[in-house]
Chain A
């Protein structure tokens, strides 16, 4: 999921200082799990804004905020509240924010959250980054642990000299990705394949931005 955290409230207030009324848009997926854009957070934001002397014309938690057309349909019943509002505050990720930008061309849209990374939830309110969306998966070669993400240097062929007692030079809280990979491949009895293969320089063109993908087959006329 996309991991978000609330933006500094003062910054948000600075963004919206010239506006009086707001529509709050959350998301029931990642932002709800992150505690940044579910029902409780929208309610709290409404109360905070009202305490600051602002008005809230409506609130809605979209099913999947990054799904543009679905969100458009879901928001139809809120037309009046959306027409009335000076601007929209989106309490999900940067993708959700830009869905609103696409749907409401003449309304200013502001993000309430910072989007951090694609993460795994390991337990409630604990999130880890494990995949960098590099566009060309190498997990088949590294025992299922991604060194592009788990190693701060993204090394592809083994640990650097900064590995100290199995931990990273960046922080003793980070276990060396390459020690983890090595140990796992050893356990799987796949060390030979790990040691014998030198991974070539990565082709970063697979992560050339902005990326698009169409998976729908065109219907034959």
Chain B
């Protein structure tokens, strides 16, 4: 079943991500793809994440397909104007890429080309509208396409954004713009996530909760202090501290697995998205611990 069919069938979906490397040596990336093959419903391919220049997402999506994975093309509005974005979307679609995740994209000041001109000709909501248009055979100027796309488009949301109201306003605009599914920023507090889901359930969209595995108490504190929209509760930080340095990563994986299991058992959301960030080889183990495989 395709990712779209899995979500539409009500099956609990599992996605993870592959970050394209910086440079043409893709041996390690292919190794990760082989580890993930057959275990995931789809794999996100990030788009110059954190504004750090890497191999483009479309090329890596194509390679993911060649290695038996269904890709979700992440597309940000940072590096291309509306002509470039639509053109790349058409190109991606003819390569067989069916899923696209529409995002605004981290600002260039976060990355390794700080002097680059950020584009942001359009933003995530307008990109979703553009994909919807391409699916209906029209470009953003209303011109007819010779052959429409058949994308399954999604977007991102930050359930623990502070303040939350403007974030929810944008979430609803994304729903109206045609988002079928959402992958969330990393969540660590299931009770708070349930509150978000109560709101999200009013809309006909699928929600995949995001996970970033905690490697240590230090990492948890770093996330709390530096990453917008992430809040690791003190109880989890204490749990990591108590585990000691050697067991911290195991404990972090156990926490992720425990949360995934709870979301699935209690049918809180429609799936999970595991962002391994350099620990792609650990994803199968987390899935095993969560009872997903």
Interface set of A (CB-CB < 8 Å, partner B): 152-166, 169-170, 176, 178-179, 181-182, 186, 194-195, 198, 200-202, 204
For the complex, give the distance between the alpha carbons of A160 and B130 in Å.
18
Chain A CB within 8 A of B288 CB: no
Q: Mark B96-123, 1 if CB is under 8 A from A, else 0.
A: 0000000010110110000000101111
- A114 CB to nearest chain B CB (Å): 16
Seen from chain B, the residues whose Cβ lies within 8 Å of a Cβ on chain A are 78, 82, 104, 106-107, 109-110, 118, 120-126, 129-130, 140, 156-158, 161-163, 165-167, 169-170, 172-173, 176-177, 185, 227-229
Inter-chain contact A158/B167, CB cutoff 8 Å: yes
Knowing A161-B229, A198-B129, A201-B121 touch, does A166 contact B158 (C-beta < 8 A)? no
Given the complex of chains A and B, what is the CA–CA distance between A166 and B176 in angstroms?
25
Q: How far is the CB of A209 from chain B (nearest CB, A)?
A: 15
B158 surroundings in chain A (CB, below 8 A): 161
A153 close to B104 (CB less than 8 A) = yes
Q: Which of B78, B129, B161 has the most CB of A within 10 A?
A: B161
Q: Is the CB of B162 within 8 A of A201?
A: no
Q: How far is the CB of B214 from chain A (nearest CB, A)?
A: 19
Q: Which 10 residue pairs of A and B lie closest in terms of their CB atoms, listed nearest first?
A: A158-B170, A164-B228, A182-B166, A157-B125, A201-B122, A160-B104, A153-B120, A201-B126, A161-B158, A195-B169
> Which chain B residues lie closer than 8 Å to A204 at the CB level?
121
Assess whether A169 is in contact with B228, with CB atoms less than 8 Å apart: yes
B105 to chain A, nearest CB (A): 8
In the assembled complex, 17 residue pairs joining A and B whose CB atoms fall closer than 8 Å, in A order, are A152-B118, A156-B123, A156-B125, A157-B123, A157-B125, A158-B166, A159-B166, A160-B104, A161-B158, A163-B162, A163-B228, A164-B229, A166-B162, A170-B107, A178-B166, A182-B169, A195-B173
Asked if A158 contacts B125 (CB within 8 A), the reply is: yes
- Whole-angstrom distance between the alpha carbons of A186 and B169 in the complex? 12
Q: State which of A164, A166, A194, A198 has its C-beta within 8 Å of the C-beta of B125.
A: A198
Count, A-B residue pairs, CB within 8 A: 100
Chain B residues whose CB sits within 8 angstroms of the CB of A182 once the complex forms: 163, 165-166, 169
User: Quick one: closest A residue to B123, CB to CB?
Assistant: A155
Contacts of B169 in A (CB 8 A): 158, 182, 194-195
B162 touches A164 (CB 8 A): yes
A200 to B125, CA, bound (A): 9
What CA separation (Å) do A219 and B75 show in the bound complex?
Answer: 54
Q: How far is the CB of A168 from chain B (nearest CB, A)?
A: 9
For A152, the chain B residues whose CB sits under 8 A away are 107, 109, 118
A166 to B162, CA, bound (A): 6
Q: Chain A's nearest CB lies how many Å from the CB of B263?
A: 20
Q: Report if A162-B163 is in contact (Cβ < 8 Å); known contacts: A153-B120, A155-B120, A155-B123.
A: no
B185 and A161 contacting across the interface, CB-CB below 8 Å = yes
B163 contact from A166, A181, A202, Cβ within 8 A: A166
Q: Report the minimum CB–CB distance from A153 to chain B (whole Å).
A: 5
Q: Are A198 and B177 in contact (CB under 8 A)?
A: yes
Q: Which residue of B lies closest to A200 (CB)?
A: B126
CA distance in complex: A161, B173 (Å) = 14
Q: A170 to chain B: which residues have CB within 8 Å?
A: 107, 109
Please name all residues of chain B whose beta carbon is closer than 8 Å to the beta carbon of A158 when the two chains form the complex: 125, 166-167, 169-170, 173
Q: How long is the Cα–Cα vector from A50 to B162 in the complex, in angstroms?
A: 57
A163-B161, A164-B228 are known contacts. Are A154 and B185 too (CB-CB below 8 A)? no
- Tell me whether A157 and B173 are in contact (CB under 8 A): yes
A200 to B140, CA, bound (A): 10
Q: Is the CB of B120 within 8 A of A154?
A: yes
Instruction: Tell me the minimal C-beta distance from B184 to chain A in angstroms.
Output: 10
